[in-house]
């Protein structure tokens, strides 16, 4: 599966949702997640993210992100069309500690 990781938080560009063939992105207030059981591993969303926030779970350290994506995909509504990014998306791209700020 592919997963959305920390740098999506507070950016939420949403380019990713436009290309997903199985509509497996789910939207929270500050970030999106991918449902790991619905993702077919096609990989087309990865290069679409301007914040480089989408990674394959085969990379090291991704277990926590698979868990995070699964947990919220089961709670949040599906998103299938692109919308405006969050207002400070550009400035906050690359900011450290966004996970802690928003999800602890
Ligand atoms: Fe959707 Fe493919 Fe990205 Fe999985 S890898 S979330 S199926 S676009
Ligand atoms: Fe987030 Fe990148 Fe999609 S910032 S909303 S994963 S395009």
* Share above pLDDT 90 across residues of the chain, in percent, rounded to a whole number: 99
Model pLDDT for residues 7-45, shown as the tens digit of each residue: 999 999 999 999 999 999 999 999 999 999 999 999 999
What average pLDDT is seen over the chain? Answer: 98
Q: How far apart are CA 94 and CA 82, in angstroms?
A: 21
pLDDT in the model for residue 87: 98
Q: What three-state secondary structure class fits 39?
A: coil
Model pLDDT for residues 47-74, shown as the tens digit of each residue: 999 999 999 999 999 999 999 999 999 9
In angstroms, what CA-CA distances link 44 with 39, 41, 91?
11, 8, 25
CB of residue 15 inside a 6 A radius of ligand 1? no
Cβ(40)–Cβ(19) under 8 Å? no
CB of residue 12 inside a 6 A radius of ligand 2? yes
- pTM (two decimals): 0.97
CB of residue 34 inside a 6 A radius of ligand 1? yes
CB of residue 69 inside a 6 A radius of ligand 2? no
Residue located nearest, by CA, to atom 1 of ligand 1? 20
Cβ(32)–Cβ(8) under 8 Å? yes
Q: What three-state secondary structure class fits 89?
A: helix
């Amino acid at each position: 599966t592919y997963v959305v990781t920390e740098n999506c938080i507070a950016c939420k560009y949403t380019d990713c949702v436009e290309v997903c063939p199985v509509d497996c992105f789910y939207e929270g207030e500050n970030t999106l997640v991918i449902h790991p059981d619905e993702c077919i591993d096609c990989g087309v969303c990865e290069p679409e993210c301007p914040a480089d926030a989408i990674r394959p779970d085969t990379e090291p350290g991704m277990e926590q992100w698979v868990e995070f994506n699964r947990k919220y995909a089961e709670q949040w509504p599906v998103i299938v069309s692109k919308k405006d990014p969050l207002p400070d998306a550009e400035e906050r791209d690359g900011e450290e500690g966004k996970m802690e700020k928003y999800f602890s």
